[in-house]
Structure 1
Amino acid sequence: MSDVVLYDYWRSSASYRVRIALNLAGIAYRPVMVDLTKGAQKSPEHLARNPQGFVPVLEIDGLRLTQSLAILDYLDQTRGMRLLPSTPAARARVLALAHAIAVDIHPVCNLQVAKHATALSGGAEGMPGDWMRHFIRPGLLAFERLLGGFDQSSYCCGDAPGLADICLMPQLYNARRWEVDLSDMPRLLGAEAACAEHPAFAAAHPDANAPA
């Protein structure tokens, strides 16, 4: 049994990112589901792992790591994954792409946030879908324009998957779940097609990790 343990939830975008990275690095891990729909993330047991009450939590190399971007950075630096370019300028540009999703779109479209917005609206018709689409589509349109500055040789920033792709795919899963129109985003869709054919991404997909 693997001594690497990933506490995750199959539909969690942040957990999805880490599953992709673990697969890309060839790291076998034992998944432990924290059922967000039942509030397991707020249980004393999970809060002992992560006081924020979030997933993922990764136990690896004798460490207990939280926050998906921090976990990805750790895996990149310790496993030589080359998720980011080596030169400072190129690195900053790719980081900006990844952050455009993980820092700007994802937090406001977290299901906990959307549910609170729905409650504040008094359960208005169209919620939380309208909330999700309001933020996801403009954010992805900006991402599409940012991609115009990169050479897409299949993936977002070249001929190998990197940090931007790892952040993009979970957000596209959510976009499709909430019926966001993506038809005018050809660069983004091209990267999605390349990632979908990659075994590491396919094995990390929520449909492949849903509870039986």
Structure 2
Amino acid sequence: MKLFEDKISSAASRVRIALALKGLDVERETIGILGADAINRKPEYLQVNPQGLVPALLTDEGALLTQSLAIIEYLDERYPDPPLLPEKREDRAFARAVALAIAADIHPLLPPRVTTQLGAMGVGPEEVADWSRHWIRVGLTAVEELLVRRQAGRYSVGDTPTVADICLFPQAINAERNSFSLGQWPRVAAIVARLREIPAFADNGPVPRR
């Protein structure tokens, strides 16, 4: 398999964490998504992924998979040990809900293509930063409330990391880099502290933007 990624991408971080939890080693190609290094919008990569986004995963069978959550579920179905979704139906639904609250509700408002477009529309750097902080605050506050209502286990859903934690960890790292203290979200902070002790998470978080 081959993973197309950029180390700064929290979406790519999710897939790296999933691969590490599964003990899978894949070929990797960096697809820059920022500034002079950005090649994700160039024709050669658009031939790979028409969306021009990372991550993308080329399977051993030659299928090109896009969207981090779709890739993670593919990996979980093909390599079921350890499972990334809980056993109980309600728990699986909750794990997916937390993952989507981050991947579908917070993340789409924050990536470089959004902030670049805001700048192109005349929005100043401080206003762009305020935009990002606003949606991180709103999003993680909602996730915190969802997690508090469950009050079960060491991680987001029980005592084993799931897809919910795979999405939560990179978003929490990015929140810290946007000058947030995770302490304002105690349940999130406690879960992330435990995830930092797991090499698959600690070694595969998003790197700072250059």
1:174-196 Cα deviation digits (max 9, x unpaired): 11121134322111001101111
- Counterpart of 1:83 in structure 2 is 84
SS at match of 1:160: coil
Match for residue 18 of structure 1 among 15, 19, 22: 15
SS at match of 2:126: coil
Q: Distance in 1 between matches of 2:170 and 2:125?
A: 26
Contact 1:95 1:163 (C-alpha < 8 Å) held by counterparts: yes
After superposition, where does 1:48-63 map in structure 2 within 5 Å?
A: 48-62=47-61, 63=63
* Unaligned ranges ≥5, structure 1: none
CA shift in 2, pair 1:115/1:210, >3 Å: closer
Q: Distance in 1 between matches of 2:158 and 2:143?
A: 16
Q: Distance in 2 between matches of 1:200 and 1:23?
A: 5
Alpha-carbon offset, residue 125 of structure 1: 5.2
Alpha-carbon offset, residue 60 of structure 1: 2.2
1:81-125 Cα deviation digits (max 9, x unpaired): 4212233322212211111100100001122112212332x2425
Please tell me the residue identity of whatever aligns with 1:66.
T
* Unaligned ranges ≥5, structure 2: none
Q: Distance in 2 between matches of 1:20 and 1:14?
A: 10
Please tell me the residue identity of whatever aligns with 2:25.
A
- Counterpart of 1:161 in structure 2 is 161
Alpha-carbon offset, residue 210 of structure 1: 9.0
Q: Distance in 1 between matches of 2:209 and 2:58?
A: 21
Bigger drift between 41-50 and 56-65 goes to: 56-65
SS at match of 1:104: helix
Q: Structure 2 length as normaliser, TM-score?
A: 0.91
SS at match of 1:101: helix
- Counterpart of 1:29 in structure 2 is 26
SS at match of 1:157: coil
Aligned length: 206
- Counterpart of 1:68 in structure 2 is 68
- Counterpart of 2:44 in structure 1 is 45
Matched, 1:8 2:8: no
Contact 1:84 1:91 (C-alpha < 8 Å) held by counterparts: yes
Q: Distance in 2 between matches of 1:131 and 1:15?
A: 22
Contact 1:150 1:158 (C-alpha < 8 Å) held by counterparts: no
After superposition, where does 1:112-191 map in structure 2 within 5 Å?
A: 112-120=113-121, 122-124=122-124, 126-191=126-191
Please tell me the residue identity of whatever aligns with 1:40.
I
- Counterpart of 2:108 in structure 1 is 107
Alpha-carbon offset, residue 144 of structure 1: 0.5
Q: Distance in 2 between matches of 1:134 and 1:168?
A: 17
Alpha-carbon offset, residue 170 of structure 1: 1.1
Please tell me the residue identity of whatever aligns with 1:131.
W
Contact 2:17 2:204 (C-alpha < 8 Å) held by counterparts: yes
Q: Structure 1 length as normaliser, TM-score?
A: 0.90
Kindly report the root-mean-square deviation, in angstroms, between the aligned alpha carbons of the 2 structures: 1.9
Contact 1:137 1:181 (C-alpha < 8 Å) held by counterparts: no
Identity value in percent: 42
Alpha-carbon offset, residue 50 of structure 1: 0.4
